[in-house]
Amino acid sequence: MSDNAKCTFGDNLRLLENVFIQLTKPEPKLIVGNDVAIGRNTIISCKKLIKIGNYVRIGSFVQIIDHNHSFSKNELIMNQEAIIKEVVIGEDVWVGSGAKILKGVEIGRGAIIGANAVVTKNIPENAIVGGVPARIIKYRL
């Protein structure tokens, strides 16, 4: 955790082996709700805000990241500025193993993210998504 980092965990959090939480500058804030389970070898990397709602299940080897780097051709990659946008995961969401949830994404209540999906855009409530990039397959009934 870096300076100004804030981390809040709700009741009944289950973290399995080798979960890695990285809170780095400028002002990272991780908020995890009640009755959340986070699977083995998951990485949560936060520079601004990652919020995980109540009753969420996150599979193994998932990555949740609220930032990326710019990629101007006139600047070395190592010197590029970070692009930071919040990630919000609603209540009763299931994130399948190996999924990647990238910056600026909001996942609606009741959504299901398929295994190995790469989420680059907002996901509506009760949507079931999969693929790279993730697309809606159907909705929960």
How far apart (Å, rounded) are the C-alpha atoms in residues 17 and 102?
Answer: 22
Greatest distance between any 2 Cα atoms in the chain = 50
Tokens of 117: 């999906």
Catalytic one among 69, 121, 135, 140? 69
Check residue 123 and report its DSSP letter: B
Check residue 78 and report its DSSP letter: G
Nearest-5° angle of CA 38, CA 40, CA 43?
70
Phi, psi of 119, rounded to the nearest 5 degrees: -95, 115
Tokens of 47: 């520079």
Contact 6, 26 (CB under 8 A): no
Active site residue 69: yes
The residues carrying an active-site annotation are 69
